[in-house]
Amino acid sequence: MSIQIAIHPAQTKILRELLFRPQAGFAQLQKPTGLSGDHFSFHIARLVELGLVEKVARGAYRLNAAGKEYANRLDTDNNTVERQPKCAVIPALERVHGGRKEYLFQERLKNPFYGFWSLPSGKMRWGESIVQAAAREAMEETGLTAVFEAAGVYHERVYEAESDNLLEDKIFFVVRGSHVQGKLITDFEGGQNEWMTADELSQKKKKFDSFTHEMKILDAQEWLVERETRYSKQVF
């Protein structure tokens, strides 16, 4: 199960202590928090309630499986949960139609990057394989099925042009989808889909500048692309 919760700083300190011990007693865990007995009791009970810590014999506590997964994301120097890149898939559906090689491209009709064209994409869910995530995203956003095969990896860090602040850090698994079947969903909440050639997409005024790099992966010219890109605050 994916852990997506916000916890109190005192609870973070408790998790940090347990990260480096098989188990620990009440007094050992209370000391680094600087809390009174009552306040500490509240926070350790809360961690048990959240399913991150379990009580063992003689009043000792230890991390359970979910707690270990969560605590392993801690920056142990700063006692904060580390922010990590987002993992997503790009299900690149392709076909030959009328003698033309076409891809299913999508206009994004939600923020950020409202009105930009690209290949479809979507976040991976906890426990999914890359191919499973691509198949699910394709069905949800296009209504189509395909035979999917991983083609490569695209890692992009997006900065705001004016401030140079990092806005997004994303790892995309580019997945080729062939033998496409089903009835296309043209419009859906958040976007619209259209078959076109790569050249036709390149003529769109608003498109992600990652487009050419993703196509190189699909054409087997590259298997891994890592780059930085910058967009103005008005665009983002």
Q: Tens of pLDDT along 172-214?
A: 999 999 999 999 999 998 899 999 999 999 999 999 989 999 9
User: What's the half-sphere exposure (Cβ side, CA atoms, 13 Å) at 142?
Assistant: 29
CA dihedral 117, 128, 65, 45 (to 10 degrees): 50
Mean pLDDT calculated for residue range 109-135? 95
Burial of 18 (0-12, 13-18, 19+ CB in 10 A): buried
CA distance 108 to 89: 15
3-state secondary structure of 48: helix
- Given a contact cutoff of 8 angstroms between Cβ atoms, the answer to whether 59 and 26 are in contact is yes
Q: Could you tell me the pLDDT band of residue 3, with boundaries at 50, 70 and 90?
A: very low
Mean pLDDT calculated for residue range 63-80? 79
Instruction: Return the CATH architecture of domain 86-231.
Output: Alpha-Beta Complex (3.90)
- Predicted pLDDT of residue 71: 83
- Predicted pLDDT of residue 80: 65
- In the chain, CATH 1.10.10.10 covers 9-81
- In the chain, CATH 3.90.79.10 covers 86-231
CA distance 67 to 102: 47
- Predicted pLDDT of residue 79: 62
pLDDT digits (tens, 9 = 90+) for 99-112: 999 999 999 999 88
- Predicted pLDDT of residue 41: 93
Q: Please give the class, per CATH, of domain 9-81.
A: mainly alpha
